Structure 1
């Protein structure tokens, strides 16, 4: 471990919300390291077109404006979840943007786990599984295009979930830099604070791996800058503050025009909602089920793990997994509440979904033994068909 005194100062990347123009020119001229969201480059079909509002493709970086710019690229997973429920673009689309510039690094497409996106553990497990699967797909696409591999991103909400996500990632060798997602609005201290997350991943990552923390506030950076795992952070807080401090020119006409633009945008989103998965923040809502017992929680987690395997194996897409996991999990909860964790109940679950009853039984044993880390479905060699091709 490197001592704090000799630890390199973390790189602070300036979030730039626009793909060109005066902001990019100023950042380049001042030599700022910057981070772009893929969403900043996204184009949609114009008003009046039959595919109005749908993703059209990426606007590629202008070589003249980007020349000499130290730029990294984020896949915009948080924006995808909040606004659209899932990514609007495919892996191939994303790599058209990746291939267009020699990025300092680019993140794999991941699935964030903030409470406003995933309030319960079963949904988080599915999003962690989707993160692991998408890393494999991104690594394969990078290999096919002869590009450097993407930066993996760890996801979760509790410390043990991040450790589990690390075990699930289809990696034979770890790169020097790994992203730490879902930390933007997280406090530094507490059971699920950033320091607790760092402690958990510090126990499972190889010694050479350092972390990029997405969206960390300056107050948090003061506490984290000396941590031996923290290599870099990014923030767009300057843009938020700049807009908040604009005290002149914000007359009523200005405010009305923005309100109208916002309303039009909401109508456009509603019109195309059939093409995007509804934003679902919980897989099993306690209000829907009248609360949960510890047995219920075990059954729900087992259901999520069954479908996490299918997602990571490439057999089922994330959005389909959410639908079927809720469906089968609801049935399994009803059976468990009727019969308890009996042999009859486990057999019914196996009949419903192969291996489901066995999963419940095995999970029950691991919970009784106090186990928290979950095994990787890729096996002890930690390979997959995606990794083998990369």
Structure 2
């Protein structure tokens, strides 16, 4: 079984980059952000819709997948500038092979502590359900790719369990927060993939977002569970080369790096499988929480459950709301949702 290498492209403009991708006959992934229209207003850039004209240039590609750009948008704008309805309208505007769900990444740069990781897993469950429902309305459900999130291997089991009802037979499931993850270690890429082998529904496979190319030989033993990986890492190498040599990072230069990267990854698929033999680190047990911290933790867990089911909107949650919920728990009274709704 062979893992498919998907090339991430920064745009679909006619030129050397797109022509080289077409010549390689490689499957392509683009971010929704590369089709965004922006305007300047009130001193900052504002999103103003989609530029779908360049999608016509993709007709000569082997295939085209769409990603929701969660990490990039979170880092740049602290959230998505478009709604899920906007995104799914874009998804229906072209026969994309796969359409990724909107998700909330859990990289350290975005999710700074354990509570935020769990919050983002809950939000990802809610957005998966909304995207799935809209995909059904738009007649594109068979091309919808649910996405799960996490930091630790067991997080992905929790995330998958929360969307079990919308995973169709034969689905490819996107695995997020991979691109800045090391290959080894208890939270490493292989630890997560190994956990996935025990939880993926029969007949489904995984797509790993942003996997480093040197990890491919370590993924080979798990090829039966992995449909594909993608990366735009070649773009970073092209940018560094241009800066080092004080030249412009043109599409012609980038195309050379892209082709070299793609051919290198294809060659790595032919290398003998490698196995991780290091023992996983023993996790350090945190000190016990005091009663108030326990109440806060329980309140957050109950709120996340309601966010996952769509009964609460994460953006409406405030610290005062969480503390009020925890106060009720401390007094052995189960909170009623309407009590804290503004």
TM-score by length of 2: 0.78
Task: Confirm whether residue 107 of structure 1 aligns to residue 100 of structure 2.
Answer: yes
Residue 190 to residue 145, structure 1, CA distance change in 2 (3 Å): same
Cα distance in 2, alignment partners of residues 248 and 187 from structure 1: 29
Q: CA deviation at 1:349?
A: 6.2
Cα offset, 1:221, TM superposition = 1.8
Distance 1:186 1:143, change over 3 A: same
Root-mean-square deviation (CA, aligned residues, Å) is: 2.5
Which of 110, 124, 129 does residue 117 from structure 1 map onto? 110
CA shift for structure 1 position 57: 0.6
Match of 1:166 among 152, 160, 168: 160
Contact 2:106–2:150, Cα closer than 8 Å, also in 1? yes
C-alpha distance in structure 1 between counterparts of 2:150 and 2:237, whole Å: 29
2:52 is aligned with 1:60: yes
Q: Which runs of 5+ in 2 are unaligned?
A: 249-285, 338-342
Deviation at 1:111, TM superposition (A): 0.6
Q: For the residues of structure 1 that align with 2:91 and 2:43, how far apart are their CA atoms?
A: 25
Partner of 2:141: 148
State yes or no: 1:190 paired with 2:172: no
* Alignment-derived partner of residue 373 in structure 1: none
For 1:215, the equivalent position in structure 2 comes to 210
> Relative CO higher for 1 or 2, CA cutoff 8 Å, sep ≥ 6?
1
Mapping of 1:79-118 within 5 angstroms?
A: 79-118=72-111
- Secondary structure class of the residue paired with 2:110: coil
Match of 1:309 among 295, 305, 315: 305
Contact 1:44-1:52 at 8 Å conserved across structures:
no
Structure-2 change in CA distance of 1:63 and 1:206 (3 Å): closer
| Contact 2:84-2:131 within 8 A present in 1 as well | yes
- Give the structure 2 partner of residue 30 of structure 1: 24
TM-score using structure 1 length: 0.69
Q: Is the 1:303–1:329 contact (alpha carbons within 8 Å) kept by the matching residues of 2?
A: yes
Question: Matches of 2:296 and 2:195 in 1, distance apart?
Answer: 24
Q: Distance in 2 between matches of 1:43 and 1:54?
A: 9
2:233 is aligned with 1:237: yes
SS at match of 2:21: helix
> Cα 1:350–1:121, aligned 2, differ >3 Å: closer, same or farther?
farther
Q: Residue 145 of structure 2 aligns to a residue in which SS?
A: coil
1:200: which partner in 2? 195
For the residues of structure 2 that align with 1:302 and 1:240, how far apart are their CA atoms? 42
- 1:61 touches 1:100 (CA, 8 Å); kept in 2? no
Map 1:1-390 onto structure 2 (within 5 A): 8-22=1-15, 23-45=17-39, 47=40, 49=41, 53-69=45-61, 70-149=63-142, 150-169=144-163, 171=165, 173-174=167-168, 175-227=170-222, 228-246=224-242, 247-250=244-247, 293-295=288-290, 298-321=294-317, 324=318, 326-330=319-323, 346-348=329-331, 350=333, 353-354=335-336
Contact 1:128/1:155 (<8 A) preserved: yes
Change (3 A) 1:185 1:332: same
CA distance in 1, matches of 2:132, 2:312: 19
Paired residues in the alignment total 293
Alpha carbons 1:183, 1:214 under 8 Å: kept: yes
Q: CA deviation at 1:305?
A: 1.7
CA distance in 1, matches of 2:202, 2:11: 36
Q: Hey, what does 2:277 align to over in structure 1?
A: none
Distance (whole Å) between structure 1 residues aligned to residue 57 and residue 166 of structure 2? 37
